[in-house]
């Protein structure tokens, strides 16, 4: 306990000597950790949205005309036999109009009851295998061969493209986060270098009275850790606020889970300690 | 206790700061190391507190061979050597007591022991009443006495003083040498490097005189 107290007193002495510089570093680390945090939350939300869309995705098979009960039974059976199809629902012209009315309201579609332009369709529920390259195209091709089929609409293509954009964003976010982490590492190392420089005389005297390398460098490494830790906490608080604000005003977002927050803050701590350790290796010649 | 055997120290192009120095100091002795500026007094002391290593020769301090000691073990040896400098070398953001306590903190002593020994050392140098003063609140003589307290608080094997009176007026210089003499009489082996020969005369102690890195003469 005593040595912990000693370390914190030493840290406070370093901070007090260079208060403005330390606060500046804290602010920079806060901003530096904010960016990876934003990417993390964005990626988490987009991935979740993508998964939700994929799980509820259907293939709409529009028909040339209304089918007989026999035709519906036969086609339902045949479509169910196709790979990737997990469910088949027949939507008659009337059902389609009712659905449209429910969605947009009767006023918007007034008059369509007499002359319904909507086609009958089959709605095919599909599994994840359909998102594999080429599977959706092959399935569409098979279905389009049926003479009853007029057109096929599958949003999976768009979703696949969205997925590709997401992956690119994730890679970009990761690359940017790594760059920002390096910048934070440099900032922390520089703050610790200044602290070492300010306390060079103290370090010399400590060496003179027999302080070991560990005794001397521990407070500096802890200073870096504390900067990283505090910066990450501030950043987590800001991210929580940003997520809440966006959820209330724009689009519902999920924040990080408690274990993810813990990882985020611990990453800040480690980043700080590593940066400080690099600085002590380079500038603390003992 | 301290054996210096054929010690030389070179810098750069084989320029000798010390040449083939040999002497022996027994436990409890007080020795003056005299010589003009640049004679090699500080270099010799730096070898004794392991700031530098000799280029040749051997230094034995108690059970330690200083010429062969590993870098990792240097801090542990320094705990047995008390050092006083001309410029006091006190930590400005620490009070007198905290400066003295540092020596014991490094050793991991308990808070109670640190407090007790620190107060004893400050009492010895007559500054217990100024234990909470910062170095800038102390006179030169007082600051030097705090550095003496810091050097002796751990009861080192040997006390080294490098021009301890260099920044003090005559009155303070005499008082400091009295203090060092008193500490020596309590049993601490003491080596004092000084160019102020007139101050040493009173003590009739052994003197090692260095001239251009060579041990010119020894008087007892």
Distance from CA of residue B27 to its chain's centroid? 15
Residues A101, A62: one domain? Answer: yes
With CB atoms and an 8 Å threshold, state whether A213 touches B75. Answer: yes
Considering only residues A37 and A163, tell me which one the structure prediction assigns the higher pLDDT: A37
**Å between B135 CA and nearest CA of chain A:** 13
Residue A162 lies in a domain: no
With CB atoms and an 8 Å threshold, state whether B89 touches A204. Answer: yes
Residue A223 lies in a domain: yes
Q: How confident is the model at residue B117 (pLDDT cuts 50, 70, 90)?
A: very high
Residues A77, A112: one domain? Answer: yes
Chains A, B: CB contacts within 8 A come to: 48
Residues A71, A17: one domain? Answer: no
**Which residues does chain B have within 8 Å of residue A12's beta carbon, measured at their own beta carbons?**
none
Per-residue confidence (pLDDT) for residue A3, from 0 to 100: 66
Asked if ipTM goes beyond 0.90, one says no
Q: Are B112 and B62 in contact (CB under 8 A)?
A: no
Q: Is the pLDDT of residue A210 over 70?
A: yes
Among residues B192, B158, B184, which one has the least CA distance to residue B64? B158
Residues A265, A175: one domain? Answer: yes
Give the tens place of pLDDT for each residue, A108-157: 667 766 778 888 898 888 887 776 767 777 888 888 888 888 888 877 66
Residue A181 lies in a domain: yes
Residue A159 lies in a domain: no
Residue A78 lies in a domain: yes
Q: What whole-number percentage of chain A has pLDDT above 70?
A: 90
Q: Where is the domain boundary, A123, A154, A185?
A: A154
Q: What is the mean pLDDT of chain A?
A: 83
Q: Are A123 and A131 in contact (CB under 8 A)?
A: no
Whole-angstrom distance, CA of residue B139 vs CA of residue B145: 10
Q: Give chain A's domain count.
A: 2
Q: What is the 3-state secondary structure (H, E, C) of A196-207?
A: HHHCHHHHHHHH
Q: What is the mean pLDDT of chain B?
A: 88
Full residue range of the structural domain in which residue A122 is found: 58-154
With CB atoms and an 8 Å threshold, state whether A13 touches B93. Answer: yes
Residue A160 lies in a domain: no
Q: Is the pLDDT of residue A69 over 90?
A: no
Beta strands in chain A (DSSP E): 58-63, 85-91, 121-126, 149-154
Give the tens place of pLDDT for each residue, B150-171: 998 988 889 999 988 888 888 8
Which of A13, A201, A210 is the closest to B106 by Cβ?
Answer: A210
Q: Angle B111-124/B140-152 helices, nearest 10 degrees? A: 130
**Å between B61 CA and nearest CA of chain A:** 16
Residues A188, A278: one domain? Answer: yes
With CB atoms and an 8 Å threshold, state whether A210 touches B77. Answer: yes
Q: Is the pLDDT of residue A239 over 90?
A: yes
Q: How confident is the model at residue A234 (pLDDT cuts 50, 70, 90)?
A: very high
With CB atoms and an 8 Å threshold, state whether A209 touches B106. Answer: yes
**Å between A45 CA and nearest CA of chain B:** 51
Residues A176, A190: one domain? Answer: yes
Per-residue confidence (pLDDT) for residue B166, from 0 to 100: 84
With CB atoms and an 8 Å threshold, state whether A208 touches B78. Answer: yes
Per-residue confidence (pLDDT) for residue B99, from 0 to 100: 93
Residues A178, A277: one domain? Answer: yes
Per-residue confidence (pLDDT) for residue A203, from 0 to 100: 86
Per-residue confidence (pLDDT) for residue A157, from 0 to 100: 66
Residues A48, A64: one domain? Answer: no
Residue A209 lies in a domain: yes
Residues A39, A82: one domain? Answer: no
Residues A65, A112: one domain? Answer: yes
Q: Where is the domain boundary, A98, A119, A154?
A: A154
**Å between B81 CA and nearest CA of chain A:** 8
Residues A81, A207: one domain? Answer: no
Q: Where is the domain boundary, A121, A154, A187?
A: A154
Whole-angstrom distance, CA of residue A121 vs CA of residue A148: 10
Residue A247 lies in a domain: yes
Minimal Cα distance from B114: which residue of A?
A2
Superfamily of domain B1-80+158-169+189-220: P-loop containing nucleotide triphosphate hydrolases (3.40.50.300)
Minimal Cα distance from A216: which residue of B?
B106
- Mutation target vs A (from B48, B75, B114, B155; most A CBs, 10 A cutoff): B75
Q: Is the pLDDT of residue A15 over 80?
A: no
Q: Which residues of B touch A (CB under 8 A)?
A: 49, 75-79, 83, 89-93, 102-103, 105-108, 110-111, 150, 154
Whole-angstrom distance, CA of residue B106 vs CA of residue B117: 14
Residues A203, A260: one domain? Answer: yes
């Amino acid at each position: 306990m005593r040595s912990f107290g000693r370390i914190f007193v030493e840290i406070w002495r370093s901070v007090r000597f260079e208060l403005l510089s330390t606060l500046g570093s804290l602010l920079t680390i806060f901003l530096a950790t904010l960016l990876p945090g934003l990417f993390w939350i964005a990626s988490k939300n987009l991935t979740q949205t993508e998964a939700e869309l994929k799980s509820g995705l259907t293939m709409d098979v529009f028909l040339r005309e209304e089918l007989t009960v026999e035709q519906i039974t036969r086609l339902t059976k045949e479509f169910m036999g196709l790979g990737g199809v997990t469910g088949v629902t027949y939507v008659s012209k009337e059902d389609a109009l009712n659905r449209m009315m429910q969605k947009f309201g009767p006023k918007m579609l007034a008059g369509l009851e007499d002359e319904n332009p909507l086609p009958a369709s089959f709605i095919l529920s599909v599994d994840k295998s359909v998102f594999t390259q080429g599977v959706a195209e092959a399935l569409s091709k098979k279905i389009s061969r049926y003479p009853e089929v007029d057109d096929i609409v599958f949003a999976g293509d768009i979703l696949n493209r969205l997925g590709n954009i997401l992956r690119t964003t994730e890679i970009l976010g990761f690359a940017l986060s790594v760059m920002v982490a390096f910048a934070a590492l440099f900032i922390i190392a520089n703050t610790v270098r200044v602290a070492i420089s300010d306390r060079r005389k103290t370090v010399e005297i400590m060496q003179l009275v027999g302080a070991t390398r560990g005794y001397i460098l521990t407070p500096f490494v802890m200073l870096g850790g504390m900067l990283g830790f505090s910066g990450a906490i501030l950043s987590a608080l800001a991210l929580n606020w940003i997520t809440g604000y966006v959820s209330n005003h724009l689009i519902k977002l999920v924040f990080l889970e408690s274990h993810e927050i813990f990882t985020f803050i611990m990453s800040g701590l480690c980043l700080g300690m590593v940066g400080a350790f690099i600085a002590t290796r380079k500038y603390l010649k003992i | 206790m301290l054996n210096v055997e054929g010690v030389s120290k070179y810098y750069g192009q084989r320029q000798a700061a010390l040449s083939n120095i040999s002497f022996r100091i027994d436990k409890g002795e007080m020795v003056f190391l005299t010589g003009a500026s640049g004679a090699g007094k500080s270099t010799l002391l730096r070898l004794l507190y392991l700031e530098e290593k000799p280029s040749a020769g051997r230094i034995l301090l108690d059970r330690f061979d200083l010429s062969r000691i590993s870098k990792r073990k240097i801090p542990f040896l320094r705990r047995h050597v008390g050092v006083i400098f001309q410029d006091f070398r006190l930590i400005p953001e620490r009070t007198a007591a905290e400066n003295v306590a540092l020596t014991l903190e490094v050793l991991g002593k308990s808070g109670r022991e640190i407090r007790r020994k620190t107060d004893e050392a400050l009492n010895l140098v007559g500054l217990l009443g100024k234990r909470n003063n910062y170095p800038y609140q102390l006179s030169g003589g007082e600051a030097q006495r705090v550095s003496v307290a810091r050097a002796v608080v751990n009861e080192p094997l040997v006390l080294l003083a490098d021009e301890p009176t260099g920044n003090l007026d005559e009155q303070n210089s005499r008082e400091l040498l009295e203090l060092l003499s008193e500490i020596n009489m309590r049993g601490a082996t003491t080596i004092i490097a000084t160019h102020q020969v007139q101050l040493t005369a009173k003590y009739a102690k052994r003197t090692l005189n260095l001239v251009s890195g060579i041990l010119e003469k020894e008087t007892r």
